């Protein structure tokens, strides 16, 4: 999961064109809460543990403790100045290395969940990037988990696709990116809240996570270059109001011709509809 700036108060650095996080209120990326809840549901049904991982500045510990109040078993914070300014390529590298370390320290990870994207970057690239680096099967835009067969080591899900829903099954380990609106994060128990307040957050720097190729981290490992960030200018023209009297008369015909002039594809579509095609 990721700690992100409150989208209503995001500021952009005028020189580096990166998001300025200092002094901006932060929240858990909303899409990641759907991933967290799905992980907790699988744990409740099949056993195991839920480990929450985030990469960010030390203040990201606040979001990790929040995740613990929802019922996560463990939280890991990956923080180091070498990670500053990371794009999706550098982020996926650092997180994949940290996940390998988590596997070594705390046991195998049959399912890794992420949100479909973050509200500050909106790229939806980090989850698939991690899957590629770790050579994992990946299921993106998942709306529902239908079945998990521990003996066969398979998982079956519904995935939202253009024009419909796909039902896919794959071998584990697997990385899943969850869609929004697929569930609702639980409230968490009072016991979890007390535990979260005093829990030890596992904190790793680059060396702790086994990251030796620092040139792949941060700005140095980020080939993405943001040329310009700007707010779109308000359009000067106003909507044009076209009107005609009820019924098919000359004014109505003039009106339709004017509409078709601005929307040429609409006329062909209406003609096909009239012909029953």
- For position 198, which CATH number holds? 3.40.50.620
Are 113 and 178 in contact, with CB atoms under 8 Å apart? yes
Are 209 and 55 in contact, with CB atoms under 8 Å apart? no
Helices and strands counted in the chain (H then E): 7, 12
Choice between 265 and 211, residue whose per-residue pLDDT is larger:
211
- Residue 233 resides in a domain: no
Question: Rounded to an integer, what is the distance from CA 120 to the centroid of its chain?
Answer: 10
* pLDDT for position 169: 96
Of 175, 177, 92, the closest CA to residue 126 belongs to 92
- Residue 109 resides in a domain: yes
* 56's tokens: 């960010």
* pLDDT for position 242: 62
Are 7 and 119 in contact, with CB atoms under 8 Å apart? yes
- β-sheet with 74-78: strand ranges across: 51-55, 74-78, 202-204
Residues whose CB is less than 8 angstroms from the CB of residue 172 and which lie 6 or more positions away in sequence, other chains included = 110, 111, 137, 153, 154, 155
Domain count, the chain: 2
Owning domain of residue 253? 239-277
Residues whose CB is less than 8 angstroms from the CB of residue 182 and which lie 6 or more positions away in sequence, other chains included = 34, 38, 142, 143, 144
Per-residue DSSP letters for 15-64? TT-PEE-TT--EEE-HHHHHHHHHHHHHHHHH----EEEEES-GGGHHHH
pLDDT at residue 192 above 80?
yes
Q: What is the pLDDT of residues 27-80, one digit of tens each?
A: 899 999 999 999 999 999 999 999 999 999 999 999 999 999 999 999 999 999
Report the chain's C-alpha Rg in angstroms.
24
Residues 179 and 108 in one domain: yes
Are 70 and 107 in contact, with CB atoms under 8 Å apart? no
Residues 275 and 206 in one domain: no
Whether pTM > 0.85 for this model: the answer is no
Residues 199 and 253 in one domain: no
- Residue 134 resides in a domain: yes
Residues 92 and 150 in one domain: yes
Residues 266 and 144 in one domain: no
Residues 94 and 204 in one domain: yes
- Residue 24 resides in a domain: yes
- Residue 227 resides in a domain: no
Residues 136 and 66 in one domain: yes
Residues 126 and 10 in one domain: yes
């Amino acid at each position: 999961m990721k700690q992100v700036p409150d989208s209503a108060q995001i500021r952009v650095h005028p020189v580096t064109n990166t998001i300025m996080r200092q002094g901006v209120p932060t929240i858990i990326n909303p899409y990641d809460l759907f991933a967290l809840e799905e992980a907790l549901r699988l744990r409740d049904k099949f056993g195991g543990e839920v480990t929450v991982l985030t990469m960010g500045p030390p203040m990201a510990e606040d979001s990790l403790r929040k995740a613990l109040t929802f019922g996560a078993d463990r939280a890991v914070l990956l923080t180091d100045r070498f990670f500053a300014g990371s794009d999706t390529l550098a982020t996926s590298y650092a997180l994949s290395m940290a996940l390998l370390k988590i596997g070594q320290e705390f046991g195998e990870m049959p399912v890794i969940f992420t949100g479909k994207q973050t509200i500050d970057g909106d790229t939806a690239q980090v989850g698939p990037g991690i899957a590629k680096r770790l050579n994992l099967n990946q299921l993106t835009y998942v709306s529902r988990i239908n079945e998990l067969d521990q003996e066969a080591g398979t998982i079956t899900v519904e995935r939202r696709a253009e024009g419909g829903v796909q039902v896919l099954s794959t071998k584990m380990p697997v990385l899943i990116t969850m869609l929004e609106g697929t569930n609702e994060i639980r409230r968490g128990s009072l016991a979890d809240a007390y535990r979260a307040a005093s829990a030890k957050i596992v904190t790793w720097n680059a060396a702790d996570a086994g990251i030796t190729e620092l040139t792949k981290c941060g700005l140095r490992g980020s080939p993405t270059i943001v040329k310009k960030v700007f707010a779109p200018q308000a359009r000067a023209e106003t909507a044009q109001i076209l009107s005609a009297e009820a019924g098919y008369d000359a004014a109505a015909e003039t009106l339709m011709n004017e509409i078709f002039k601005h929307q040429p594809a609409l006329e062909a579509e209406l003609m096909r509809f009239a012909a029953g095609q």
